[in-house]
Amino acid sequence: MQSNGKHDLIKRACGFASPFRIERGEEFRLRDIDPGDTLHLGSEDKDRAREALSMGIELLAEFQDKLYAQDRWALLLIFQAMDAAGKDGTIKHVMSGINPQGCQVSSFKAPSPVDLDHDFLWRCMQQLPERGRIGIFNRSYYEDTLVVRVHPELLQQQKIPPELVGKDIWKERFRDIRHYENYLANNGIIVRKFFLHVSKKEQKRRFLERLEKPEKNWKFSANDIRERAFWDDYMEAYEDMIRHTATKEAPWYVVPADNKWFTRVAVAAAIIETLVSLDLHYPKLSKEALEQLDQAKQALLSEG
């Protein structure tokens, strides 16, 4: 990509990402973000947005190649959302240009008996990305402050000694998560968290589509409807979670998710914004290493 085109794209990316970046949790209110927001873009801009997205994806691939070559930083992208908000599709589209060797997706579903025999961060810790890689968590340890909070019987299953389960348990979990993410940042693992914010109305439309279109039937789960009944509890839990865990070193992006094309642009933009801030470059070789390359070249050229 031409460097002035790149500069322009990066500038535009920052413009799409920054309105949704939350770094100071205490000021955050969920109602300040409209799930239907598309910034200033209307549906007539969709094609241009798609074009920008594909350029963004190209740029991401370039950054990722440098991240890998440099082998210093790792990037952890966490996705949380209500059902049908578009986590899977966003991950699929935004990461479509990335070299699969440099990227790993981990999905966290209901915990297994082995998981429940450990602390709540344990299963996620094992899936952290290596240096040079991008790790994606499709759901994460944040579920332990969301679904587990909305359904207290799940907390019972976690086998925590009862004297440690008090009224401050969620505050304690948030604090532990903040410290943990701070620890990751201190180790060069950059954490960025995405809440794809869909409206209740749009979720209903997507569920109906899953029920009506045979090729989407497989996506439907009766459990999703049961969870929908707890919508307000979930929204409260999400808001409280973001208020307590959005920090400068590990911000949340609360991304409007009623329009899939916009969600994808905003998420790609946020990842670009993050990678730009790392000032990635290919490793510079020492004088000796360059001499060795030259010798190798001469040896190859002098072969019969």
Residues at the interface with ligand ATP (CB under 6 A): 83, 88, 108-111, 138-139, 143-144, 147-148, 154, 221
Instruction: Report the residue number, 64 or 138, with the smaller CB distance to ligand ATP.
Output: 138
Question: Looking at beta carbons, which residue is closest to ligand ATP?
Answer: 143
Instruction: Report the residue number, 37 or 83, with the smaller CB distance to ligand ATP.
Output: 83
Q: How far is the CB of 63 from ligand ATP (least distance, A)?
A: 27
Contact call for residues 163 and 99 (beta carbons, < 8 A): no
C-alpha–C-alpha distance, residues 141 and 276, integer Å: 27
Q: How far is the CB of 42 from ligand ATP (least distance, A)?
A: 29
Q: How far is the CB of 257 from ligand ATP (least distance, A)?
A: 13
C-alpha–C-alpha distance, residues 135 and 29, integer Å: 28
C-alpha–C-alpha distance, residues 107 and 78, integer Å: 10
Q: How far is the CB of 204 from ligand ATP (least distance, A)?
A: 16
Instruction: Report the residue number, 61 or 154, with the smaller CB distance to ligand ATP.
Output: 154
Instruction: Report the residue number, 110 or 293, with the smaller CB distance to ligand ATP.
Output: 110
Determine the number of helices (DSSP H) and then strands (DSSP E) in the chain.
13, 6
Q: CB within 8 A of 149, min separation 6: which ones?
A: 155, 170, 233, 237
C-alpha–C-alpha distance, residues 250 and 233, integer Å: 24
Instruction: Report the residue number, 244 or 280, with the smaller CB distance to ligand ATP.
Output: 244
Instruction: Report the residue number, 119 or 249, with the smaller CB distance to ligand ATP.
Output: 119
Q: How far is the CB of 53 from ligand ATP (least distance, A)?
A: 22
Q: How far is the CB of 79 from ligand ATP (least distance, A)?
A: 9
Contact call for residues 91 and 37 (beta carbons, < 8 A): no
User: Dihedral angle at the C-alpha atoms of 194, 195, 199, 200, nearest 10 degrees?
Assistant: 140
Instruction: Report the residue number, 13 or 124, with the smaller CB distance to ligand ATP.
Output: 124
Q: How far is the CB of 183 from ligand ATP (least distance, A)?
A: 21
C-alpha–C-alpha distance, residues 198 and 262, integer Å: 12
Where in the chain does DSSP place strands (E)?
Answer: 21-22, 74-81, 103-107, 134-138, 189-197, 252-256
